Amino acid sequence: MSRIMADTAADTDFLVYSTTVCPYCVAVKRFLTRRNLSFTEINFDHDPSARAEVVAETGHRTVPVIIDIRTDQPVFVGGFDETQRYLA
């Protein structure tokens, strides 16, 4: 099973893969909160092995990495800018 599929067990709208000192991670969490969308945050600083797995699955090397898990099939959205466009 893939890392992302395993993490989709969360009962929220989005997965947010982040790091502690990332201004875009803070911004995307505020953005989702303002839109009353729930998210589960997985911090790469607290789970370093997750980063390599998520990069391998998405090809996205920067944080945040946003996954829409509102449907049965998770959708890789991208980072902060892509999330803003996705939810526009």
CATH code at position 24: 3.40.30.10
Query: Rounded distance, CA 13 to CA 37, Å?
Result: 6
Query: Rounded distance, CA 28 to CA 60, Å?
Result: 16
pTM, rounded to two decimals: 0.93
Query: Rounded distance, CA 24 to CA 30, Å?
Result: 10
Q: Give per-residue pLDDT as tens, 36-48.
A: 999 999 999 998 8
Domain interval for residue 16: 3-86
Q: Strands, E, within the chain: which ranges?
A: 14-18, 39-43, 65-68, 75-78
Domain count, the chain: 1
Peptide linkage before 48 cis (omega within 30 of 0) = no
Q: Give per-residue pLDDT as tens, 38-86.
A: 999 999 999 888 999 999 999 999 999 999 999 989 999 999 999 999 9
